[in-house]
Structure formats: structure tokens, C-alpha cells
Amino acid sequence: MTTPRTYSRLDRLFIEAEHALGSALIAQPAARTANPAADVPEAGLDAAQREHAAGLMRVNHVGEVCAQALYYGQAAFARDEATRRQLLAAAAEETDHLAWCGERLKQLDSRPSLLNPLWYAGSYAIGALAGLRGDGWNLGFVVETERQVEAHLAEHLQSLPESDARSRAIVQVMKADEARHAERAQEAGARELPVPVKGLMRVASALMKAVAYRI
């Protein structure tokens, strides 16, 4: 009885595609948790500082688009129902981050990356590949993704203008959340990814960061 399983996966693909188009890419997703910068006063940034902060927050926004796509791609092909549920829950938590970064970009008179559909499609494909490798890999992929994101958020805290307390408040909370996501996946039985795979993920994310800062 392989036919119903194939249909169900196809169904999932359509549901995910709809999610991507409706929520992550076109509409401004709604956060379930208050924006950490809501009560933080706006700093008087000069044009160069504003542009730099917007570049970094655009990179973070793309990172969250990619995280959603990875987790939905992985969930669509996860073998174990518990893993699938955990991946979908992780994706839902990233929606807050996506919304906060989107709000900050607007406040900085900027916009999300024009290449978001491309980032989403690429990440979804990578997530689907990880999903097909099995659940230990799936969780290992979550751990590595979250650790790399946490590391780049730490870099952003060094690089953001000192006075941009709003962007900093958002990045601080995201960084703590990503660390928790990694720990949770580790406890759920993540497999250590091979070094070349980690290296490839680092190259892909460096490329994304360089492009998304500008476009």
C-alpha cells in the first residue's frame, strides 16, 4: 500500500507551498510573542548606521525565512511522527523571529530581501534532502542550523551600531531562542553531522549573508 503514503506526502508538499507563499513570503506573519523591542526607544541613527543595521536585520530576516523552509522541508519527509511534530513546532517558533525582523526592517525604512522566494526554495530542497536521510539526520541538521545561526547573531551583536537598542533587543532574544532550539533537538536524539556537511552549510550561509546584506 504505497499509494496513499505518496498522496499524503504530495498533500503535505502543497500545504507547505501554500504556507510559504501565504505566510513566509507575501504576508507579514503575525508574532505570537511580543516584540522584544516594543518598549525600547528608537535611537537617532545616522544614514550609514541605519543602512548597516538594515543590512544586518535583512540577513536575519532571510535566516528566519530559510529556517522555516528547512523545517517545513524536513517535516514533509520526516519518517517519525514525533520528529515531524517537533520540526513543525520549531518552524512555528521561528515565525516570531521572522515577524520581529520584518517589523524592525520597516522601522529602519528598509525591506526584506528581494530574493526571499529563492532562499525559501533552496532551503526547502535542502530540508527535504535531510528529511529523506532519516530522523537522526533531521535533528542533527536542526542542531547545526541553530548553532550556526546563534554564532552569526553573536557576530551581529558585535557589529550592530551600539546605540541601536531596538535591533539589539530582538537579536538578543533570538540568540537565546536558537540556543534552546539546538539543545532541544540534541536531547531528542540528534546525530552529529559529518564535517563536510557542516562545512557546506557554513559556505551556503556565508553566501546568503553576503548577498542578503545588499539585496
**Which positions touch Fe ion (CB under 5 A)?**
94, 97, 146, 178, 181
Please give the DSSP secondary-structure letter assigned to residue 79: S
Residue closer to Fe ion by CB (options 61, 181) is: 181
**C-beta closer to Fe ion: residue 181 or 209:** 181
Helix (H) or strand (E) holding 42: none
Asked whether the beta carbons of 64 and 101 are under 8 A apart, the reply is: yes
State which residue, 46 or 155, has the beta carbon closest to Fe ion.
Answer: 155
Give the phi and the psi of residue 108 in degrees, each rounded to 5. -90, 10
Nearest to Fe ion of 87, 128 (CB atom): 87
Least distance to Fe ion from the beta carbon of 141, Å?
Answer: 12
Q: Distance of alpha carbon 89 from its chain centroid, rounded? A: 13
CB of 209 to Fe ion, least distance (A): 15
98 neighbors 61 (Cβ within 8 angstroms):
yes
Query: Roughly how many angstroms between the first and final C-alpha of the chain, as a whole number?
Result: 47
Q: What is the closest distance, in whole angstroms, from the C-beta atom of residue 83 to Fe ion in the complex?
A: 16
Measure the CA–CA gap between 66 and 72, rounded to whole angstroms.
10
- C-beta of 91: minimal distance to Fe ion in Å? 9
Q: Which is nearer to Fe ion, 144 or 164 (CB)?
A: 144
d(CA 73, CA 92): 13
CB of 146 to Fe ion, least distance (A): 5
DSSP3 helix / strand / coil % (the chain, rounded to 5): 75, 0, 25
